[in-house]
């Protein structure tokens, strides 16, 4: 997979279908030679343009700056003449920050280096991986830098990170430490990013890349609703099935920066890592710092192949939970059913009714602890509210278990309300700048969990609750972003470490809780989907996608999320209409079809549901059990996007062995006096024959699809001729087709 071509001085990383090639120019500079379709072991060092003017510095030092300003640098450094955006900046004790990294050897190993405290990819039990360690150094600063590149034998992704070590005898201050960079020639690129807001997370956006900067970032202390740590560079006009696509996705849950810079010679630099705003990391002599991993993917067959590469990588090499490939229990969450207004009786009423319908787990959301009667108080007081939870938590959980259901609970461990016993006792536990009144958000502050005693206290409280009853699921929420960044305990020259330390602290807390409760099903959440990122997947196999549970809004949110994440990770529930966020009415069955593209569950008061809607729940539960493996373990193909066409949405999941697939179709708008639609399917074996069956929500069974498409059709016909979808009466109508090898 990885080799060093000695004569050519090239490092070649070959994945299943791609090659990534790094060259050493002038015996010193690590440069980027090639990334694309897999190619033979030729000498492609010429692609770095080192044989053309302005030459390399050893031949023409007069023009060293011209060289640095255009050389495709593998890991560009600050302050010595590469005037484009750099990846690393380090200041020494005297305030100098120029940095130049020279090649200092390499190692190729089949043991993937472990990055302490960080979420990270890993080889599968039976599979092989190889890692290239490219050693660079700056003798003036006394800094060693190791660029890490890992390839897995079963996947096309390349995983990158960087380790920097202070080899001097004085402290060094790392003020910028990005994880990956690729310098490429422009291919008339378009930039694809995921952006949004609360209730509109991860909408896909695409723009031409002009001269200058473009990109995404967060300084909110978490990934955010607004931007996502992903960059996609697409050759102009690339679509789901055609064109060059380069992806970078960051395995991290805090401040990030993803930048694309198109420079004076039309070269394009793509980079990703921790946001350097407010970031400084002090490295004492001998200490080192590891950056979180960036996953790069190249696809020469459009966006869809990139998507499937990320899905497989995350399913096989990032998610650790024992629930990874397992069916998750169909849950009912009481948030939209009751908000804060519930007690044991109410929850048991919901559970009783739910258990009769096939729902498998009750999740008690916000409001069960302290005097949490609304969202203005009690965060931090992780003691059961005995007035609401009469008889205690164990009684409630036991009663739910007696119904044959599991029980789950909500926490927001990182927060503290000013109106809480915890704050009254420890006002200094909140993050704040001394002398400045910190801003509230949802009437809460953020705990300084970077401090050991605070982290220990919260972990203990959570574990105490989890030990007190048979709790099998936790929803870990986080409902405000970080501001007024000040720690009362970090010294001045470490204050710039707070944001990154905060993220490490979140990881540490989840790691410790999971170590105590290894079978716990953890779902991360942040005011909806503000912490939907690969970092969290290392701890929780599923993440709440969005507070917007409207099926139609979800089409866009889930389309953007599924661009990178397997459907098994996407928290998706059926809720009531008119929808609580947008007031829209959507048929109950459509809400079920859309939620099926995720972990599937309910977020409503089942005791208040109309008989007609309630009658569909057993069939929906059946639907989930029947198709769940196909949906979550299969290959995902986008067929049509409502975001693009404004009328309808369609996507498929196809079993890895191509024996069956499921098509979800949502007709958002009916069109009067209009043809039926012909849509072309994807992912079949060309010569195999397939039968099309329709899922019937009334019976929970399958039935033949249209009478004129009853006979088996070959994969080629389905993919090239397509199938008919007849117009359905009304808007927001859904259809589920199971297409099976005949």
- Kindly tell me which of 409 and 537 has the beta carbon lying closer to ligand DGJ: 409
- Segment contacting ligand DGJ by CB under 6 A, of 82-90, 444-452, 525-533, 694-702: 525-533
Secondary structure of 316-327 as H, E, C letters: HHCCCCCCCCCC
By the 8 A CB rule, do 32 and 47 touch? no
- Kindly tell me which of 225 and 317 has the beta carbon lying closer to ligand DGJ: 225
Q: Which of 607, 603, 556 has its CA nearest to residue 577?
A: 603
Closest approach of Cβ 331 to ligand DGJ, in Å?
Answer: 12
> CB count, 10 Å around CB of 691?
18
By the 8 A CB rule, do 724 and 660 touch? no
By the 8 A CB rule, do 315 and 324 touch? yes
User: Which run of H or E residues covers position 737?
Assistant: strand 733-741
Closest approach of Cβ 547 to ligand DGJ, in Å?
Answer: 5
Q: If binding is defined by CB under 6 A, does position 527 make contact with ligand DGJ?
A: yes
Site string for ligand DGJ, 376-415 (x = CB under 6 A): ----------------------------------x-----
448 included as an active-site residue: no
Question: CA angle 115-120-124, nearest 5°?
Answer: 115
Site string for ligand DGJ, 331-370 (x = CB under 6 A): ----x-----------------------------xx----
Strand segments (E) across 126-189: 129-138, 143-152, 158-166, 172-185
Phi, psi (rounded to 5 degrees) for 569:
-95, -10
- Kindly tell me which of 365 and 635 has the beta carbon lying closer to ligand DGJ: 365
Q: If binding is defined by CB under 6 A, does position 34 make contact with ligand DGJ?
A: no
Q: If binding is defined by CB under 6 A, does position 190 make contact with ligand DGJ?
A: no
Q: If binding is defined by CB under 6 A, does position 183 make contact with ligand DGJ?
A: no
Counting beta carbons within 10 angstroms of the beta carbon of residue 627, is it exposed (0 to 12), middle (13 to 18) or buried (19 or more)?
A: buried
Q: What's 596's DSSP letter?
A: T
By the 8 A CB rule, do 191 and 232 touch? yes
Catalytic residue among 365, 448, 547, 550: 547
- Kindly tell me which of 225 and 500 has the beta carbon lying closer to ligand DGJ: 225
Closest approach of Cβ 483 to ligand DGJ, in Å?
Answer: 19
Closest approach of Cβ 366 to ligand DGJ, in Å?
Answer: 4
Q: If binding is defined by CB under 6 A, does position 547 make contact with ligand DGJ?
A: yes
For ligand DGJ, the nearest residue by Cβ is 366
User: What is the per-residue DSSP string for 172-233?
Assistant: EEEEEEEEEEEEEE--S-EEEEEE--TTSTTEEEEEE--SEEEEEEE-SSS--SSB-SEEEE
Q: Which of residues 641-680 bind ligand DGJ (CB under 6 A)?
A: none
Q: If binding is defined by CB under 6 A, does position 479 make contact with ligand DGJ?
A: yes
Closest approach of Cβ 336 to ligand DGJ, in Å?
Answer: 8
Q: Which of 354, 357, 460 has its CA nearest to residue 407?
A: 354
Pick from 87, 525, 564, 681: which binds ligand DGJ (CB under 6 A)? 525
- Kindly tell me which of 360 and 477 has the beta carbon lying closer to ligand DGJ: 477
547 included as an active-site residue: yes
| Secondary-structure percent of the chain, ordered helix, strand, coil, rounded to 5 | 25, 30, 45
Pick from 71, 250, 369, 544: which binds ligand DGJ (CB under 6 A)? 544
- Kindly tell me which of 71 and 473 has the beta carbon lying closer to ligand DGJ: 473
User: Residues interacting with ligand DGJ, by CB under 6 A?
Assistant: 335, 365-366, 410, 477, 479, 525, 527-528, 544, 547
Residues assigned a catalytic role? 477, 547
């Amino acid at each position: 997979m990885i080799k060093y071509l000695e004569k050519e001085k090239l490092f070649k990383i070959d994945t299943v279908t791609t090659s990534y090639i790094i060259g050493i120019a002038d015996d010193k500079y690590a440069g980027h030679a090639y990334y694309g379709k897999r190619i033979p072991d030729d000498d492609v060092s010429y692609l770095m343009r080192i044989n053309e003017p302005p030459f390399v510095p050893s031949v023409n030092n007069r023009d060293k700056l011209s060289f640095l300003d255009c050389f495709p640098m593998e890991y560009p450094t600050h302050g010595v003449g590469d005037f484009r955006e750099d990846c690393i900046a380090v200041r020494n004790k005297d305030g100098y920050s120029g940095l130049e990294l020279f090649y200092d050897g390499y190692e190729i190993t089949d043991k993937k280096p472990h990055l302490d405290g960080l979420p990270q990819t890993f080889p599968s039990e039976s599979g092989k991986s190889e890692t290239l360690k490219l050693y660079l150094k700056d003798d003036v600063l006394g800094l060693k830098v190791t660029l890490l590149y890992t390839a897995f034998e079963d996947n096309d992704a390349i995983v990158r990170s960087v380790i920097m070590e202070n080899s001097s005898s004085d402290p060094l201050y790392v003020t910028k430490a990005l994880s990956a960079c690729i310098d490429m020639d422009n291919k008339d690129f378009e930039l694809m990013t995921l952006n949004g807001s609360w209730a509109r997370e991860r909408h896909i956006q695409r723009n031409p890349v002009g001269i200058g900067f473009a990109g995404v970032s967060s300084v909110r202390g978490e990934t955010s609703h607004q931007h996502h740590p992903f960059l996609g560079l697409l050759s102009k006009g690339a679509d789901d099935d055609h064109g060059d696509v380069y992806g970078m996705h960051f395995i991290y849950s805090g401040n990030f920066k993803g930048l694309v810079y198109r420079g004076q010679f039309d070269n394009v630099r793509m980079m990703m890592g921790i946001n350097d705003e407010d970031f400084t990391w002090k490295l004492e002599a001998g200490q080192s710092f590891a950056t979180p991993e960036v996953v790069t993917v190249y696809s020469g067959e459009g966006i869809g192949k990139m998507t499937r590469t990320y899905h497989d990588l995350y399913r096989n090499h990032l998610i650790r939970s024992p629930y990874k490939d397992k069916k998750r229990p169909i849950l009912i969450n009481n948030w939209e059913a009751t908000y804060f207004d519930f007690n044991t009786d109410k929850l048991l009423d919901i559970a009783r009714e739910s258990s009769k319908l096939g729902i498998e787990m009750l999740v008690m959301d916000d409001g069960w602890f302290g005097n949490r009667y609304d969202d203005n108080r009690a965060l931090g007081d992780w003691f059961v509210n005995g007035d609401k939870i009469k008889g205690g938590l164990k009684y409630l959980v036991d009663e739910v278990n007696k119904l044959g259901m599991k029980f789950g609970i909500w926490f927001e461990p990182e927060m503290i309300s000013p109106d809480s016993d915890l704050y009254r006792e420890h006002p200094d536990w909140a993050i704040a700048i001394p002398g400045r009144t910190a801003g509230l958000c949802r009437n809460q502050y953020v705990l300084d969990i970077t401090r050991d005693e605070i982290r220990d206290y919260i972990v203990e409280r959570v574990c105490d609750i989890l030990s007190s009853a048979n709790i099998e699921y936790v929803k870990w929420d986080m409902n405000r972003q970080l501001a007024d960044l000040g720690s009362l305990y970090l010294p001045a020259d470490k204050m710039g470490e707070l944001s990154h330390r905060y993220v490490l602290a979140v990881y540490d807390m989840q790691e410790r809780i999971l170590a105590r409760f290894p079978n716990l099903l953890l779902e991360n959440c942040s005011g909806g989907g503000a912490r939907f990122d690969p970092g969290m997947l290392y701890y929780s196999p599923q993440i709440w996608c969005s507070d917007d549970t409207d099926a139609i809004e979800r089409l866009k949110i889930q389309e953007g999320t599924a661009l990178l994440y397997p459907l098994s990770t996407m928290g998706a529930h059926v809720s009531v209409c008119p929808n609580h966020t947008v007031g829209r009415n959507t048929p109950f069955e459509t809400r079920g079809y859309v939620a099926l593209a995720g972990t599937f569950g309910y977020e409503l008061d089942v005791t208040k549901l109309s008989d007609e809607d309630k009658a569909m729940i057993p069939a929906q539960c059946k639907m989930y059990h029947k198709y769940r493996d196909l949906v979550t373990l299969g290959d995902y193909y986008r067929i049509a996007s409502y975001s693009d066409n404004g009328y309808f949405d369609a996507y498929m999941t196809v079993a890895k062995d191509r024996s069956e697939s499921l098509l979800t179709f949502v007709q958002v708008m009916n069109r009067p006096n209009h043809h039926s639609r012909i849509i072309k399917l994807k992912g079949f074996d060309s010569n195999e024959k397939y039968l099309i069956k329709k899922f019937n929500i009334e019976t929970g069974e399958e039935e033949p699809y249209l009478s004129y498409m009853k006979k088996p059709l070959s994969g080629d016909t389905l993919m090239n001729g397509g199938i008919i979808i007849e117009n359905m009466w009304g808007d927001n109508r859904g259809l589920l087709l199971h297409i099976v090898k005949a």
